[in-house]
Amino acid sequence: MNLEIVSSEMLEQGVRKLDWIFPRLRVLNMLCEEFEREKPLKGLTIGMCLHVEPKTAGLLRVLQAGGAKVAVTGSPGTTQDDVAIALANTGISVYGCSRDKRTEHLENIRDVLRHQPQLLMDNGADLTATLIEEFSANGVIGGTEETTSGAHRLRSELRGRVSFPVIVINDSPLKRIVENEHGVGQTTVEGFLRVTNLMVPGKRFVVVGYGHCGRGIAKSLKHFGGRVTVVEIDPVRALEAGMLGIEVKDLEDTLTWGEAFITATGQSGVLTAKHMMKMSNGAVLANAGHFSTEFDLSGLKNIAKAEERLVDGIDKFVLPNGNEIFLLAEGEMINLAGGKGNPAENMDMGLALQALAIKRIAQDHVELGKGAQPVPHEINQRVATLMLNSIFDY
Amino acid sequence: MNLEIVSSEMLEQGVRKLDWIFPRLRVLNMLCEEFEREKPLKGLTIGMCLHVEPKTAGLLRVLQAGGAKVAVTGSPGTTQDDVAIALANTGISVYGCSRDKRTEHLENIRDVLRHQPQLLMDNGADLTATLIEEFSANGVIGGTEETTSGAHRLRSELRGRVSFPVIVINDSPLKRIVENEHGVGQTTVEGFLRVTNLMVPGKRFVVVGYGHCGRGIAKSLKHFGGRVTVVEIDPVRALEAGMLGIEVKDLEDTLTWGEAFITATGQSGVLTAKHMMKMSNGAVLANAGHFSTEFDLSGLKNIAKAEERLVDGIDKFVLPNGNEIFLLAEGEMINLAGGKGNPAENMDMGLALQALAIKRIAQDHVELGKGAQPVPHEINQRVATLMLNSIFDY
Amino acid sequence: MNLEIVSSEMLEQGVRKLDWIFPRLRVLNMLCEEFEREKPLKGLTIGMCLHVEPKTAGLLRVLQAGGAKVAVTGSPGTTQDDVAIALANTGISVYGCSRDKRTEHLENIRDVLRHQPQLLMDNGADLTATLIEEFSANGVIGGTEETTSGAHRLRSELRGRVSFPVIVINDSPLKRIVENEHGVGQTTVEGFLRVTNLMVPGKRFVVVGYGHCGRGIAKSLKHFGGRVTVVEIDPVRALEAGMLGIEVKDLEDTLTWGEAFITATGQSGVLTAKHMMKMSNGAVLANAGHFSTEFDLSGLKNIAKAEERLVDGIDKFVLPNGNEIFLLAEGEMINLAGGKGNPAENMDMGLALQALAIKRIAQDHVELGKGAQPVPHEINQRVATLMLNSIFDY
Amino acid sequence: MNLEIVSSEMLEQGVRKLDWIFPRLRVLNMLCEEFEREKPLKGLTIGMCLHVEPKTAGLLRVLQAGGAKVAVTGSPGTTQDDVAIALANTGISVYGCSRDKRTEHLENIRDVLRHQPQLLMDNGADLTATLIEEFSANGVIGGTEETTSGAHRLRSELRGRVSFPVIVINDSPLKRIVENEHGVGQTTVEGFLRVTNLMVPGKRFVVVGYGHCGRGIAKSLKHFGGRVTVVEIDPVRALEAGMLGIEVKDLEDTLTWGEAFITATGQSGVLTAKHMMKMSNGAVLANAGHFSTEFDLSGLKNIAKAEERLVDGIDKFVLPNGNEIFLLAEGEMINLAGGKGNPAENMDMGLALQALAIKRIAQDHVELGKGAQPVPHEINQRVATLMLNSIFDY
């Protein structure tokens, strides 16, 4: 289903959103000049499935500058209609709108593939899977995949059936440094403040998981005066926390102590209903991991005597022992809840990796192996260099 | 004009807001028990003018527990109607609603004073001034004043006419420590992230003013990886910044360097249109001081060739030299813009000072001098102790 | 007793010490030019009692540049003979040497006063007291006093007998910012590492006293990954620590927890033998306050079953309960123990206050009141400005 | 040459040094109990070449507790004679003393090998090389190697000739976390303060190299208020610094800015005489990398017009352009200069890896491959766990 109704008001609103964010995507702006000059994508069509929001629009400009035609659809629920309209207005073929569900999403995917793209830029391997199952991969020379879970699909259910190289963006060390440690670390604190109207100083936080996200969260809370205990099963990582003076404990030993629990483990069911029964009255739960399943929410709903939404983003559950616990953002990523998505600079970095990866595919697809593969070292170095330039050359 | 329409839905919404915030006002909760037990306000009527929002409601519970009758009105534009209704439902006399302008506000003030209060809890000296000019101060034994500007009115235009003691809350050292340095410092960063969707790391911030607010802002930005330059005219304060490794410069020398300018001086016209003309293209302006006049906005509007609201909270101005600069939150306090007001713990502290100050007035008004006076030392000590208890006794 | 033996080797050694440190005393260097130009001390003789060490020598150069004749003696035990010889070689009258005891010190004081100085620069009020009791104050137009304890003498035992203005250096806010919070804070951690060969990360420190020194120590330890608990009786100060996420406890509740205790209260007998009996085996005690009496050392020696010096700066005491506790630097300031004294930049700031204060006395002694008085505001501002220049103008 | 004698005074002094440090080696203490119980080294002789200083003595106790006989020699110049005597007194065969040069060192190595050890604990591969060239490897079942440079010898000149497994300690991730980032980071600042008597706040530091050591140094300096610029050729690492708000520049662009330069690159000739000629007058040079060749000292000596030792650890060089630059600790590691060696907790961690590695060799040498190999994952995990216990279980 192609995008239809265009009020001029929505178009203008979309354009204004881009006006704010586009100049802030500095690495993409630098690449825009390069792509304009070199035209590495000349004559190629790109099929894309990425969130249709202002920052992604920056990538589209780079690709267009590079000579590509682009057909794009978003993910269900994340499309910003005004941005979609603004993009359509610049000659991009845009499919889908904010109210699409899974069925419409698959139809949008097919609409994109009907453009017979040579290059795919995918998010969760939806494009690739549909291509292989319903279309022909002939003529596709390669692509990129944004997510780790998409890469997992390529390596499991689609194993052996992907006849072209796919560069997986999310494995880049730059994502861990820029996005996980700093981006998630800081915006998780921002989201907590925004949703709860509480302060950090003196408050007792339990951060469950000390990977790059957990480390960023723990450090940000500590800098703001929070008292932080970390729960981490890998002793080497746990020791890293300990060397910073952060308390390291078993989860069981933090339950009555903690006032707020923030999960960032990447695992499911880390905090169970049993754990919640041992927490102190008034405990606050937030998740910063990718999936909302880090808390056992169904277990919580099963035991809860009552459940009530107090204000936006805060649900109160009354436990059998009479204690109240408060769930933020329904367990979805607290740093994104009610906000504007990942910060511009995070996206700038990730989308620049996308742009240079697809350029590499366009130029070297014959030399590259088939299937999922990491971002080439020199692309990581290149984007790091551009980002340093964007910060320090003024 | 008394509060009228009550939908049960709005009442419930107000009650739910209090359900979230009231247990988090720990110092007020401790005082509630004490006031319940001692009834220090028995038989007294309090006339109050304070923001009618969830946290203020906590103070009202304490006063009611202490035996007082309370008539309250908010400030123009800050009343939350659902909270007002929830309060009215508990026996408080509440005047005013969210859509009131200055005229209605003054009528609300008069409505409050018609209750013939013995005690006043004031915000900007509106109650006191109206009392003196239109009513009789006979029977009034004293009061509190929240703001520094209210205290200024008491000491200038009302000088010699205030026949009762008024304890000024905002001068307490606790406000500077808890609210200015930590509260404003952290929520300013939160507000900046929220409104702009940008990140702090590597970004060049100029913090203008290094009082308690400026210090908190500069430290928070530095902790989040911002590159910070401070502008401060008092060399002793400036040296404090320098000892932290923060660059200290004259304002003129920061103009092309800065990507974002945050003012917290308490002065007007600190950043003029002339300054803005020297800033780099894309500069972002935010204010964290009490008044929106720290930037010369009318000067800016005068020279601007074009002005456009891009997204909520971000206005673009095109300067005669072709540069664009971006104003956040129309120059109002960026930490409060679009958020939920001061954090609960800040308010808890300030309102606890209010509660104990009014108790002191009720008990010792004869001994206390007339007119504006600081919070007694032992009340500061008491609230600090209670706050420490609320953090460390668990 | 004037300085006698001069080996050329010692002279050269003294000169080399000055060669290292003098260019680092940047504020004094700036003042040196000013004094050279203005000659504000022309024709005046200064009697001085200050530590004769390389940094003090910087002050002497300024005074000589300003036209003064100077006669100086040190404090018992702190004179560096090589520096003394180097000074004598530049025309300063230097009295005393490193092996002097109290008797010789008093004779040195008399020797200085026999020069009939118009200006006194004193340390502990020894010069002033001897002047008043044994000499005549006629001809003395004023002076400075470095220490708070000297100021105390002027205001108590010498009260009413000081016929000239004495500016007290140690009360300057610059001392608190530069010297106490940063200087003592950082060098205490340095001293702890140096003496013990231990690390900070993960270690449990109890910092007793949260004034400017204690705050600097607690923050430095926290930055280095130490786990810090603060003991502070003033709740407002304690709350400042709590807002940084530092645990605040009663001393009694820290005794078994702490691995190392650092005192910075300015009080005597803060940690008693009774407290030590409750500490865990292996506890380490260090003092960062001015006097070694913050621990009750005689109480400790009384109860100890055994006492042994293990290595330089570490004494082991075996308690009646079998526990061992370890005292660093005999309870003297751990930041100075075995080191080179206060850092150059701290001294530079303090000595610059001295230089400008004595210049002010020379120029305005008639206008200034008699007796001990604070550093004039504009001198604090001036030295802060010069220090900022020394940091940021390059 | 065996250790001779032996004043009872030196013996006591050595014993006292161990009395201080041994209880602080907590992980080794835990292992001591385990080795005592399990006797994993029963009947085995260990030939060891490690620094003979108090902390190494802790390892020897563990090995003895495990049932081993040990013959040990130190490295030239690092043996502490009093400690050697104290060890000899406990039944260890100790060879060498503090005044040994290379010739005596090789003879000591031979003396150790004459004990016909089954296990080697080596430092720089001296034992292994001499064994292979002069003795027979029959009967040797494996060993450990402390250093990366020793591992390099095993993999190059001794390649194919090492018939037994050798576990290389220095590659463990624990070394990078505990020793490089925290240990070197903090003790470098300590060493700088100790040697120079200067302060960090406001000072301009250039940290050359942003590996784990450089990162630790830059962060420590920043925490203490230093203004830090990092030079790093790998853009990904450089971006990590940039995300912390640390300036990243090319070396050339820092030369006039820097007041102090600290190298930690692991490379030679990083700072050349040409660079030094561009530095500002008064620049201070310090090295925190393993080798003193990070500065081109011979180049410096060649161009210098004059050279003078001012105080211990500070040499002044006068350059042809008249500028003076100051070299700390002759370019040797500033964190160890004049101090007591690596902190106890760093050594505790490294020596625990040694103890568990040699236990593994004793038990599993048949299964392990030949030649240099990394510390097994489970040993890293085990030592991390023990270290966490030593910090958090109290």
Give A239→chain D minimum CA distance, Å. Answer: 6
Could you tell me the two tokens for C311? Answer: 């290595």
Task: Give every CB contact of residue D227 below 8 A, 6+ residues apart in sequence.
Answer: B245, B247, D202, D203, D204, D205
For C140-176, give one letter per residue: b (16+ CB within 10 A) or e.
bbbbbbbbeebbbbbbeebeeebebbbbbbbbbbbbb
Crossing angle of helices A377-392 and A344-364, in 10° steps, is 140
The pLDDT of residue D283: 97
Closest residue of A to B177, CA-based?
Answer: A201
Could you tell me the two tokens for B27? Answer: 């110092």
Instruction: Please identify, in words, the CATH class of the domain defined by D8-171+343-392.
Output: alpha beta
Residue C193 to residue D182, Cβ atoms within 8 A: no
Residues of chain D contacting residue A229, judged by C-beta atoms under 8 Å apart:
none
- CA–CA dist D47, D67 (Å, integer): 14
Residues of chain C contacting residue B238, judged by C-beta atoms under 8 Å apart:
384, 388
In this complex, the chains that touch D, judged by 3 or more CB pairs closer than 8 A, are A, B, C
Instruction: Say yes or no to pLDDT of D255 above 70.
Output: yes
Nearest CB to A225; choose among C201, C225, C245? C245
Nearest CB to D202; choose among B224, B228, B242? B242
Count CB neighbours of D28 within 10 A: 28
Residue C222 to residue A245, Cβ atoms within 8 A: yes
- For residues D379 and D363, is the Cβ–Cβ distance under 8 A? no
Instruction: Say yes or no to pLDDT of A40 above 50.
Output: yes
Best probe of the B interface among D243, D248, D257, by most B CBs < 10 A, is: D243
Q: Which residues pair with D45 in a beta bridge?
A: D69
Residues of chain A contacting residue C241, judged by C-beta atoms under 8 Å apart:
none
Closest residue of A to B308, CA-based?
Answer: A16
Residues of chain B contacting residue A190, judged by C-beta atoms under 8 Å apart:
189-190, 193-194
Could you tell me the two tokens for C273? Answer: 């033998």
**First-residue to last-residue Cα distance in chain A:** 45
Residue D235 to residue A182, Cβ atoms within 8 A: no
Closest residue of D to C187, CA-based?
Answer: D193
Instruction: Say yes or no to pLDDT of B5 above 80.
Output: no
For C233-269, give one letter per residue: b (16+ CB within 10 A) or e.
eebbbbbbbbbbbbbbbebeebbebbbbbbbbbeeee
CA nearest to B119, candidates B94, B134, B96, B137? B137
- For residues D82 and D11, is the Cβ–Cβ distance under 8 A? yes
Residues of chain D contacting residue C201, judged by C-beta atoms under 8 Å apart:
178, 182, 186, 345
Residues of chain B contacting residue C388, judged by C-beta atoms under 8 Å apart:
235, 238-239, 242, 248
Residues of chain C contacting residue B181, judged by C-beta atoms under 8 Å apart:
243
Residue A236 to residue D174, Cβ atoms within 8 A: yes
The pLDDT tens digits for C232-285 are 999 999 999 999 999 999 999 999 999 999 999 989 999 999 999 999 999 999
% of chain B at pLDDT higher than 70: 98
Residue A381 to residue D234, Cβ atoms within 8 A: yes
Give D125→chain C minimum CA distance, Å. Answer: 28
Counting other chains too, the contacts that D147-154 makes at CB distance below 8 Å and 24 or more residues apart are: D147/D123, D149/D124, D150/D122, D150/D123, D150/D124, D150/D125, D150/D126, D151/D125, D151/D372, D153/D124, D153/D125, D153/D128, D153/D129, D154/D125, D154/D128, D154/D371, D154/D372
Of A42-56, D252-266, D332-346, D353-367, minimum mean pLDDT range: D332-346
Residues of chain B contacting residue C239, judged by C-beta atoms under 8 Å apart:
174, 177-178, 384, 387-388
- Average pLDDT for residues D83-100, to the nearest whole number? 92
- Order of all β-strands in the sheet with D284-287: D247-248, D227-231, D204-208, D260-263, D284-287, D324-328, D314-318, D306-311
Interface size, chain A vs chain C, as Cβ–Cβ contacts under 8 Å = 32
Residue B182 to residue A199, Cβ atoms within 8 A: yes
Could you give the 3-state DSSP secondary structure of residue A64? helix
Instruction: Say yes or no to pLDDT of A337 above 80.
Output: no
Stated as kind and residue range, the H or E segment containing D152 is helix D148-155
- CA–CA dist B126, B104 (Å, integer): 13
Best probe of the D interface among C190, C219, C220, C259, by most D CBs < 10 A, is: C190
The pLDDT tens digits for B204-252 are 999 999 999 999 999 999 999 999 999 999 999 999 999 999 999 999 9
Residue B242 to residue C388, Cβ atoms within 8 A: yes
CA distances from C308 to B378, C202, D80 (A): 47, 28, 21
The pLDDT of residue B47: 98
Instruction: Say yes or no to pLDDT of D1 above 90.
Output: no
- Return the CATH architecture of domain B181-331: 3-Layer(aba) Sandwich (3.40)
Nearest CB to D245; choose among B225, B242, B243? B225
Residue D242 to residue A178, Cβ atoms within 8 A: no
Confirm or reject CATH 3.40.50.1480 for domain A8-174+341-392, answering yes or no.
yes
Residue B177 to residue C380, Cβ atoms within 8 A: no
Q: In the structure, what pLDDT confidence band is assigned to residue D37 with cuts at 50, 70 and 90?
A: very high
Q: In the structure, what pLDDT confidence band is assigned to residue C5 with cuts at 50, 70 and 90?
A: low
- Per-position DSSP letters for A77-143, written without gaps between them: TT--HHHHHHHHTTT-EEE--TT--HHHHHHHHHHHHTT--SEEEESSSHHHHHHHHHS--TT--EE
The pLDDT of residue A69: 97
Residue D243 to residue B227, Cβ atoms within 8 A: no
Give A236→chain D minimum CA distance, Å. Answer: 5
- CA–CA dist D74, D108 (Å, integer): 9
- Average pLDDT for residues A18-45, to the nearest whole number? 96
The pLDDT of residue A199: 94
In this complex, the chains that touch A, judged by 3 or more CB pairs closer than 8 A, are B, C, D
CA distances from B55 to B8, B356, C357 (A): 21, 16, 51
Nearest CB to B384; choose among C236, C249, C388? C236
Q: In the structure, what pLDDT confidence band is assigned to residue B4 with cuts at 50, 70 and 90?
A: low
Task: Give every CB contact of residue D110 below 8 A, 6+ residues apart in sequence.
Answer: D130, D134
Stated as kind and residue range, the H or E segment containing B132 is helix B126-134
Instruction: Say yes or no to pLDDT of D334 above 70.
Output: yes
Model ipTM value: 0.94
CA distances from C118 to C37, C46, C95, C126, C142 (A): 21, 6, 18, 16, 7
Residues of chain A contacting residue B314, judged by C-beta atoms under 8 Å apart:
20
Residues of chain C contacting residue A219, judged by C-beta atoms under 8 Å apart:
none
Residues of chain C contacting residue B388, judged by C-beta atoms under 8 Å apart:
235, 238-239, 242, 248
The pLDDT of residue A394: 63
- Average pLDDT for residues C43-69, to the nearest whole number? 96
Q: When comparing pLDDT for A339 and D126, which is higher?
A: D126
Instruction: Say yes or no to pLDDT of A275 above 70.
Output: yes
Q: What is the CA radius of gyration of chain D?
A: 22
Q: Residue C76 carries which DSSP code?
A: T
Residues of chain A contacting residue B220, judged by C-beta atoms under 8 Å apart:
223-224
Nearest CB to D346; choose among C199, C257, C280? C199
Residue A174 to residue D239, Cβ atoms within 8 A: yes
Nearest CB to A186; choose among B23, B187, B224? B224
Best probe of the D interface among B244, B247, B248, B249, by most D CBs < 10 A, is: B244
> D183-331, superfamily in CATH?
NAD(P)-binding Rossmann-like Domain (3.40.50.720)
The pLDDT of residue D340: 81
CA distances from D351 to A218, D22, D189 (A): 30, 12, 24
- A178-331 matches A8-174+341-392 in CATH topology: yes
How do strand B324-328 and strand B314-318 relate by DSSP bridges?
antiparallel
Q: What is the CA radius of gyration of chain C?
A: 22
Count CB neighbours of D378 within 10 A: 10
The pLDDT of residue B394: 63
CA distances from C380 to B237, B293, C355, C383 (A): 11, 31, 12, 5
Domain boundary assignment for chain B: 8-171+343-392, 181-331
The pLDDT of residue B211: 94
Could you tell me the two tokens for B240? Answer: 């404090």
* Average pLDDT in chain A: 94
- Average pLDDT for residues A167-180, to the nearest whole number? 92
- CA–CA dist A219, A237 (Å, integer): 14
Q: How many CA atoms lie within 13 A of B276 on its CB side?
A: 32
- CA–CA dist D274, D303 (Å, integer): 10
CA nearest to D26, candidates D345, D365, D358? D345
* Average pLDDT in chain D: 94
- CA–CA dist C29, C353 (Å, integer): 13
Q: How many CA atoms lie within 13 A of B287 on its CB side?
A: 23
Residue D240 to residue A177, Cβ atoms within 8 A: yes
The pLDDT of residue A1: 42
Could you tell me the two tokens for C150? Answer: 């000297």
The pLDDT tens digits for B322-375 are 999 999 999 999 988 777 888 999 999 999 999 999 999 999 999 999 999 999
Nearest CB to D245; choose among B222, B242, B244? B222
Nearest CB to B199; choose among A182, A204, A311? A182
Interface size, chain A vs chain B, as Cβ–Cβ contacts under 8 Å = 120
Residue D316 to residue C202, Cβ atoms within 8 A: no
Best probe of the D interface among A236, A240, A257, by most D CBs < 10 A, is: A236
Closest residue of D to B244, CA-based?
Answer: D225
The pLDDT tens digits for C187-199 are 999 999 999 999 9
- Average pLDDT for residues A99-117, to the nearest whole number? 94
CA nearest to D224, candidates A246, A201, C264, C200? C200
- For residues B179 and B198, is the Cβ–Cβ distance under 8 A? no
- For residues B243 and D263, is the Cβ–Cβ distance under 8 A? no
Q: Residue D176 carries which DSSP code?
A: I
Stated as kind and residue range, the H or E segment containing B188 is helix B185-196
- CA–CA dist B46, D104 (Å, integer): 92
- Return the CATH architecture of domain A178-331: 3-Layer(aba) Sandwich (3.40)
CA nearest to A166, candidates A28, A31, A358, A367? A358
Residue A392 to residue D235, Cβ atoms within 8 A: no
The pLDDT of residue B202: 96
Could you give the 3-state DSSP secondary structure of residue C309? strand
C-alpha angle D130-D135-D140 in degrees, rounded to nearest 5: 90
Instruction: Say yes or no to pLDDT of C336 above 90.
Output: no
- Per-position DSSP letters for C322-343, written without gaps between them: S-EEEEEGGGSBTTTTTS-SS-
- Average pLDDT for residues D323-352, to the nearest whole number? 91
Residue D240 to residue A388, Cβ atoms within 8 A: no
- Average pLDDT for residues C317-337, to the nearest whole number? 94
- Average pLDDT for residues B53-81, to the nearest whole number? 93
For D241-271, give one letter per residue: b (16+ CB within 10 A) or e.
bbbbbbbbbebeebbeebbbbbbbbeeeebb
Residue A388 to residue D249, Cβ atoms within 8 A: no
